[in-house]
Amino acid sequence: MLQQIALSYDYLRRYADEKLMLDRVLAIVPNDTETQAARAWMEFESHADTRPLHQMIDSVRATNPALLPTIGDAWLVSTLAERDFDAATNVLKAFGENKPHLSSDNVPLTSLFVEGVIARMTKDDAKARSAFTAARTEQEKAVQAQPNFGPALCVLGLIDAGLGRKEEALREGQHAVELLSVEKDSLNGAALIKYLAIIAAWVGDKDLACEELATAIRYPGCLSYGHLKLLPFWDPLRGDPRFEKIVASLAPKQ
């Protein structure tokens, strides 16, 4: 129950209250790895500080590596935030058949898509196109199996953005938001708006990207200061005054 309350505070970006709840959980189960990860994740989200998360993951790797798959998403995000792309590639291997997430929303990505992201960030255009092309073939099957499932279509939009297919990417991202609006699902609907902002940023439509991002942060959800400040998905918007204003609005207050 305390863990669920902490998660609600996380969505509300009430990090001081979340910290109190997680500390209460750790007083009961001090060795619970997932709660330890959540505590370190909170520092990443609230202060754009990856050090607690990195230290926690290093400890698990040294003492009980069998537990690493249970915190795979946090491990992947920390490597991307630190721009340690070799480590991120290695983390992907730990997922096996499981799909990575960037946060606790229900938008499962794919390992092939993340491979494309890593190649894109390392300026390996040929490898990025190869990974995104393979990811598209895989994701099209998922969309065909569930044509009205917004998260699947959203990921196809991200992949098409990576491939430079601007019109298709924007159409898929916008239709995904229509299929799963915030009125239907407040958490995952907001997540799809966030991903539409990323799609728009990747295809060069900064006006739409900043507009959608400004909408997304109005809702409780997984967007945070750490995500916007450190993750490479937002790199095309860095330096844009509208984006920097949004980042600053989520910065920790004195």
Tell me, letter by letter, the H, E, C secondary structure of 165-228. Answer: CHHHHHHHHHHHHHHCCCCCCHHHHHHHHHHHHHHHHHCCCHHHHHHHHHHHCCCCCCCCHHHH
Identify whether 41 is part of a domain: no
What DSSP character marks residue 112? H
Identify whether 51 is part of a domain: no
Tell me how many domains the chain contains.
1
What DSSP character marks residue 103? S
Identify whether 241 is part of a domain: yes
Q: Which amino acid is at 105?
A: D
Identify whether 183 is part of a domain: yes
Long-range contacts of 79-84 (CB under 8 A, 24+ apart): 80/117, 80/231, 80/232, 81/44, 81/50, 81/226, 81/230, 81/231, 82/50, 82/54, 82/230, 83/121, 83/232
Q: Tell me what pLDDT residue 172 has.
A: 97
Segment 29-67, tens digit of pLDDT: 999 999 999 999 999 999 999 999 999 999 998 999 888
Identify whether 46 is part of a domain: no
To 5 degrees, how large is the angle CA 58–CA 30–CA 77?
35
What DSSP character marks residue 153? H
Residues with Cβ within 8 Å of 31's Cβ and at least 6 positions away in sequence, in order, are none
- Res. 232: pLDDT tops 90: yes
Identify whether 15 is part of a domain: no
Task: Give the C-alpha separation, 177 to 164, whole Å.
Answer: 20
Q: Which residues of 44-56 are buried (b: 16+ CB within 10 A; e: fewer)?
A: bbbbbbbebbbeb
Task: Give the C-alpha separation, 109 to 142, whole Å.
Answer: 11
- Secondary element (H or E) of residue 129: helix 125-145
Hey, how many other C-beta atoms are within 10 angstroms of the C-beta on 90?
12
Share of the chain above pLDDT 70, in %: 100
Segment 68-96, tens digit of pLDDT: 888 888 999 999 999 999 999 988 887 77
Identify whether 24 is part of a domain: no
Segment 128-166, tens digit of pLDDT: 999 999 999 999 999 999 999 999 999 999 999 999 999
CATH number at residue 179: 1.25.40.10
Segment 156-196, tens digit of pLDDT: 999 999 999 999 999 999 999 999 999 999 889 999 999 99
**Residue scoring higher pLDDT (70 or 209):** 209
pTM value?
A: 0.94
Structural domain of 208: 99-250
Q: Tell me what pLDDT residue 254 has.
A: 66
Q: Tell me what pLDDT residue 81 has.
A: 95
Residue among 114, 124, 107, 36 nearest 79 (CA): 114
Task: Give the C-alpha separation, 104 to 194, whole Å.
Answer: 13
As a whole number, the mean pLDDT across the chain is 93
- Res. 233: pLDDT tops 90: yes
Identify whether 35 is part of a domain: no
Q: Tell me what pLDDT residue 69 has.
A: 84
